[in-house]
């Protein structure tokens, strides 16, 4: 039996900040997890307490890390790949930057991080792990920063330096350094380690001095022109805040021109409006279903609850993954080993989703009833015809 329990040799993984080169390297280079084997209810019952606990821990870790390469993820990756490729080919040209601008919890960080990881691996494969023969200079193709609340542009340079563990971030040095010197030092790190992609996540937390953020936007423009890497920003309502895009900063012609070279990408929540979007939602659920490891799961376990799950999450992938993960955890903990409506009914998720839940669910219940009635009537009349034909 022990042979079928996965992950025994899988040492617990440390969670390090992605805003340090060690944490990022760890994230980008660690091998993908093995999916725990799917055991039957009987096999589960025959596990010893330790084996059982380990198996459950493996399943929880697996569920927490499910990654779905959805159409949207794929689409954004393709666009980002194009931008990076053209910047890599053409180093003299003014670099274009990209921004992923979307409402909360639609998967921005997931998309940029997975893109960064793929790019990191690709560059390491192409160029190698070190940049010199003595193996002194690490090749760090990607620099990743998550903006904490109220960071200034000077603070942003500090964070970039912090990513590379630059001595300036030890404290004493940076106080005497002017913003431009910090920026220069950061640019040196980027060049020294041949960094080609700088990801700045949660850009909306950056501190704005002016209401329309013109000054910050100007600095971002300067930053992405000055450094030899391609900048990828992610955040909420970046366009409205005037941080990216032409609209809000149209007053400044020079800036508007730079922003025209920036590609602003977006992510949308799922919708049930058309047949195609409904299929996409169902396909998402099907893929999640395939990824779950629950002994008593059955084909269609989630897809059959398609509209219910939509009502619970309003098509927001963050809320959906949260609900499913909590449902799966509870199913493991209680021994239910399956997810159904009764189990999910009892699990609360984020407030946004919960507020819209009641209204949407009532509407869907009404529509479902009407659809069932229509189907029943249709079957009845078809049945009547069939019987008629048979008799004929």
Ligand X SMILES: Nc1ncnc2c1ncn2[C@@H]1O[C@H](COP(=O)(O)OP(=O)(O)OP(=O)(O)O)[C@@H](O)[C@H]1O
Residues that bind ligand X (CB under 6 A): 66-68, 70, 73, 104-110, 202, 236, 317-318, 321
Q: Output the smallest distance, CB 363 to ligand X, in A.
A: 25
Select from Mg ion, ligand X, none the partner in contact with residue 243, using the beta carbon and a kind-dependent cut-off of 5 to 8 Å. none
Nearer to ligand X, 317 or 331 (CB): 317
Q: How far is the CB of 68 from ligand X (least distance, A)?
A: 4
Closer residue to ligand X (CB): 72 or 306:
72
> Within 79-108, which residues bind Mg ion (CB under 5 A)?
108
Number of CB atoms found within 10 A of residue 149's CB:
8
Q: How many residues bind Mg ion (CB under 5 A)?
A: 2
Q: How far apart are CA 283 and CA 7, in angstroms?
A: 29
CB 144, CB 232: distance < 8 Å: no
Cβ at position 18, least distance to ligand X in Å = 12
Q: In angstroms, rounded to a whole number, what is the distance separating the alpha carbons of residues 195 and 87?
A: 12
Selection from Mg ion, ligand X, none that 106 binds (CB < 5 to 8 A by kind) is ligand X
Burial status of residue 224 (CB atoms within 10 A of its CB: 0-12, 13-18, 19 or more):
buried
State in angstroms the smallest separation of the CB of 244 from ligand X.
15
Cβ distance to ligand X smaller for residue 105 or 186: 105
Q: Report the run of H or E that residue 231 belongs to, with start and end.
A: strand 230-235
146 binds, among ligand X, Mg ion, none (CB under 5 to 8 A by kind): none
Inter-residue contact 35 to 293 (CB < 8 Å): yes
For residues 150 and 375, which CB has a smaller minimum distance to ligand X in the complex? Answer: 150
Decide whether 57 or 291 has the Cβ nearer to ligand X.
291
Shortest Å, Cβ 108 to Mg ion: 5
Q: Does the footprint of Mg ion cover residue 109 (CB under 5 A)?
A: yes
Q: Which is nearer to ligand X, 124 or 238 (CB)?
A: 238
How does DSSP assign 16-78, residue by residue?
--TTSHHHHHHHHHSPPPPPPP---HHHHHTS-HHHHHHHHHHHHHHHHT-----HHHHHHHH
CA distance 151 to 148: 6
**Residue 220 touches which member of Mg ion, ligand X, none, C-beta under 5-8 Å by kind:** none
| Smallest separation (angstroms) from ligand X to the CB of 114 | 8
What are φ and ψ of residue 146, in 5° steps?
A: -105, 120
Which is nearer to Mg ion, 139 or 144 (by Cβ)? 144
Length of the chain: 392
Enter the DSSP assignment of 339: -
Q: Minimum Å distance from CB 115 to ligand X? A: 11
Query: Considering beta carbons, is residue 66 or 177 the nearer one to ligand X?
Result: 66
Query: Which parts of 184-223 interact with Mg ion (CB under 5 A)?
Result: none
Q: Is 113 a binder of Mg ion (CB under 5 A)? A: no
Closest approach, Cβ 194 to Mg ion, in A, equals 27
Q: How far is CA 261 from CA 74, 126, 169, in A?
A: 22, 28, 32
Q: Which does residue 245 touch among ligand X, Mg ion, none (CB within 5 to 8 A, set by kind)? A: none
Nearest residue (CB) to Mg ion, 87 versus 109: 109
Residue 316 contacts Mg ion per CB under 5 A: no
If 0-12 CB within 10 Å is exposed, 13-18 middle and 19+ buried, where does residue 350 land?
middle
Specify whether the CB–CB gap between 314 and 269 falls below 8 A. yes
Q: Which of residues 158-177 bind Mg ion (CB under 5 A)?
A: none
| Residue (of 188, 264, 187) closest to 233 by Cα position | 264
CB of 200 to ligand X, least distance (A): 12
Write out the binding residues for Mg ion, residues 249-308 only, by CB under 5 A.
none
Out of ligand X, Mg ion, none, what residue 248 binds, judged by CB under 5 to 8 A for its kind, is none
Comparison of 297 and 320: residue with beta carbon closer to ligand X: 320
Whole-angstrom CA distances from 367 to 28, 91, 362 are 46, 57, 9
Report the nearest approach of Mg ion to the CB of residue 265 (Å). 14
105: left (phi over 0), alpha (psi -120 to 50) or beta: left
Calculate ∠ Cα 229-235-239, nearest 5°.
95
Q: Which residue is nearest to ligand X (CB)?
A: 107
* Nearby residues of 294 by Cβ (< 8 Å), 6 or more positions away: 59, 328, 331, 332, 337, 338, 339
Q: Which residues bind Mg ion (CB under 5 A)?
A: 108-109
């Amino acid at each position: 039996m022990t042979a079928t329990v996965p992950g025994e040799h899988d040492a617990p993984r440390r969670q390090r900040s992605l805003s340090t080169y060690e944490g990022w390297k760890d994230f980008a280079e660690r091998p993908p997890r093995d999916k725990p084997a799917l055991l039957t209810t009987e096999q589960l019952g025959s596990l010893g307490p330790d084996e059982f606990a380990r198996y459950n821990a493996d399943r929880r870790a697996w569920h927490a890390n499910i990654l779905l390469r959805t159409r949207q993820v794929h689409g954004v990756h393709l666009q980002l790949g194009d931008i990076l490729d053209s910047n890599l080919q053409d180093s003299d040209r003014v670099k274009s930057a990209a921004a992923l601008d979307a409402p909360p919890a639609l998967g921005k960080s997931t998309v940029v991080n997975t893109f960064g990881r793929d790019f990191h691996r690709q560059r390491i494969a192409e160029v190698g792990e070190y940049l010199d023969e003595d193996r002194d200079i690490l090749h760090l193709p990607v620099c990743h920063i998550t903006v904490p609340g109220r960071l200034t542009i000077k603070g942003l340079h500090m964070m970039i330096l912090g990513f590379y563990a630059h001595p300036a971030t030890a404290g004493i040095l940076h106080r005497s350094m002017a913003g431009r010197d910090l920026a220069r030092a950061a640019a040196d790190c980027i060049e020294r380690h041949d960094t080609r992609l700088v990801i700045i996540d949660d850009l909306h937390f950056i501190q704005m001095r002016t209401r329309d953020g013109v000054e910050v936007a100007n600095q971002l423009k300067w930053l992405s022109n000055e450094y030899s890497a391609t900048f990828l920003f992610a955040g909420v309502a970046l366009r409205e805040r005037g941080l990216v895009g032409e609209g809000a900063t149209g007053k400044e012609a020079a800036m508007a021109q730079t922003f025209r070279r920036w590609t602003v990408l977006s992510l949308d929540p799922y919708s049930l409006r058309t047949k195609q979007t409904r299929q996409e939602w169902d396909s998402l659920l099907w893929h999640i279903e395939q990824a779950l490891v629950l002994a008593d799961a059955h084909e269609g376990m989630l897809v059959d609850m398609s509209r219910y799950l939509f009502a619970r999450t309003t098509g927001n992938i963050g809320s959906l993954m949260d609900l499913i993960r909590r449902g799966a955890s509870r199913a493991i903990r209680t021994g239910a080993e399956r997810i159904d409506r009764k189990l999910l009914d009892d699990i609360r998720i984020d407030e946004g989703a919960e507020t819209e839940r009641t209204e949407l669910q009532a509407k869907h219940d009404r529509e479902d009833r009407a659809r069932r009635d229509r189907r029943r009537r249709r079957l009845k009349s078809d049945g009547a015809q069939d019987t008629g034909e048979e008799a004929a």
